[in-house]
Amino acid sequence: MTGRSAYVAPRRAAILLSAAWLSFVGCGRDRGVEAAASQKARAVKTEQAQIRDVRRQVDVVGTLAAREEVVVSAEVDGRVARLAHDLGDRVSAGDALIELDPEKLQYRAEAQRAALEQARARYGAAGDGDLPPLEQVPAVVSTSAQLADAQQQLERAKNLSAQNLLARSDLDTAQTRYNTAKAAHDQALASARQLRADIETQSSSLRLAQRNLRDAVIRAPFDGYVAERLVSQGQYIQTQAPVMRIVRLQPLKITAEVPEKFAPWIETGRELSVRVDAYPSQVFAGKIVRISPAVNLRSRAFAIEGEVPNADGRLKPGTFARVQISTDHVDRAVTIPAAAVQSRYGTNRVFLVQNGQLAGKEIVLGDRLGDRVEVAQGLDAGTTIVSADVEPLADGMKVAPKQM
């Protein structure tokens, strides 16, 4: 074999191998095309995007708070003798919260009562009845009689003196006796007034002592719950020392801020619904009771305050809440079934059917409307889309649409 023949033989073998490979690949491609052509179309439900009336709602976030909250303080000094209620207890207005040792206060009240009784006795008043007039005070009655007698003697002396039947010295004696009796009467009246004032002072002191004795029992100012206990049994506390924190949970207050653009839609009395993470499947109804007249310059929103019934006490003050406010504003909007939306990586899209194949289209969603959702951008009314079971679908899939 010559050198040329040796060179041509390997080259011819390579050409034959390449031809065989191309033939194999061609056959495989033909089979793939045939398989794609023979792929069975997936049955899908379709529906046209519809124009519907949409009643607008405002969604904001807020915080639940107690309608009333107060730190109850002691009004008298004393040692804590008994804790009538503790953390979490439900209390009614007037219920005892804490009882202080009343012994010393009782002694003070008794001392004040004794002092009052002494003052009334000096005045001439019996028992706890009304005080007699000044003219009926024994000292005043006595000096009044003496004054009347002295005045009578003076008048007689003047008559006798006018007839020169009485010496001048006797007239002067009668005049002096009258002046003395009058001074004594005036003094008795002044003393009676002072006694009356003392009685009023002692009465006030007794009432204050009795009030302090009653204040030894610290009571709840309104219906609510004990949110915090601030003292312990046996502790000595002074006036104005905080002892318990009471909160009113029925109804609860909810505060939120609403963007200024929704101001025309918000008014007192509007219904609102509240959702909290503790009860994700439950909606709590309420209403708006107050609206701020001013807009916050930093947030460009205005504050609202609502009331949410909470008779069973399940909702807790301080809880974060999602608030939805109903309005009367109605728009015409494109809507589709919520099940028609496929969400991937922060984007939403629907599937259109074009020539028996799926074509994805990105959309912007608006408000949720029960089992439907508003399409704010990306889809026109009347466009046919796949209406359900869109999660496994992808662009290019062959489908057999079934109009719903």
28-71 pLDDT, tens digit per residue, is: 434 433 444 445 788 888 888 888 888 777 888 999 998 888 99
The verdict on whether omega for the bond into residue 401 sits within 30 degrees of 0, i.e. cis, is no
Q: Sheet with 78-83: list strands edge to edge.
A: 217-219, 96-100, 78-83, 236-237
Q: What residues make up the domain containing 9?
A: 1-39
Task: Kindly state whether residue 96 falls inside one of the protein's structural domains.
Answer: no
pTM over 0.75: no
- Residue 39: the pLDDT is 57
Task: Kindly state whether residue 31 falls inside one of the protein's structural domains.
Answer: yes
Task: Kindly state whether residue 97 falls inside one of the protein's structural domains.
Answer: no
Question: Is the C-alpha dihedral spanning 131, 135, 139, 142 positive or negative?
Answer: negative
Tell me, yes or no, whether 342 and 294 share the same domain: no
Residue 226's pLDDT band, with cuts at 50, 70 and 90, is very high
Task: Please tell me the total count of domains within the chain.
Answer: 4
- Residue 33: the pLDDT is 37
pLDDT in tens, 335-382: 989 888 998 888 899 999 888 888 888 989 888 877 888 888 888 888
Distance CA 325, CA 266 (A): 8
Higher pLDDT, 25 or 375: 375
Secondary structure of 39-63 in HEC code, one letter for each residue: CCCEEEEEEECEEEEEEEEEEEEEE
Tell me, yes or no, whether 255 and 337 share the same domain: no
* 104-118, 127-141, 149-163, 332-346: least confidently modelled range: 127-141
Tell me, yes or no, whether 207 and 130 share the same domain: yes
Q: What is the mean pLDDT of residues 156-167?
A: 80
Residue 189's pLDDT band, with cuts at 50, 70 and 90, is confident
Token pair for residue 238?
Answer: 């002074």
Last residue of a domain, one of 193, 215, 237: 215
Token pair for residue 232?
Answer: 């312990």
Distance CA 112, CA 115 (A): 5
Determine the Cα angle at 338 with ends 336 and 340, to 5°.
70
Higher pLDDT, 130 or 258: 258
Tell me, yes or no, whether 116 and 204 share the same domain: yes
Task: Kindly state whether residue 244 falls inside one of the protein's structural domains.
Answer: no
Q: Which spans in 215-263 are helix H?
A: none
**Residue 350 burial (CB count, 10 A):** 24
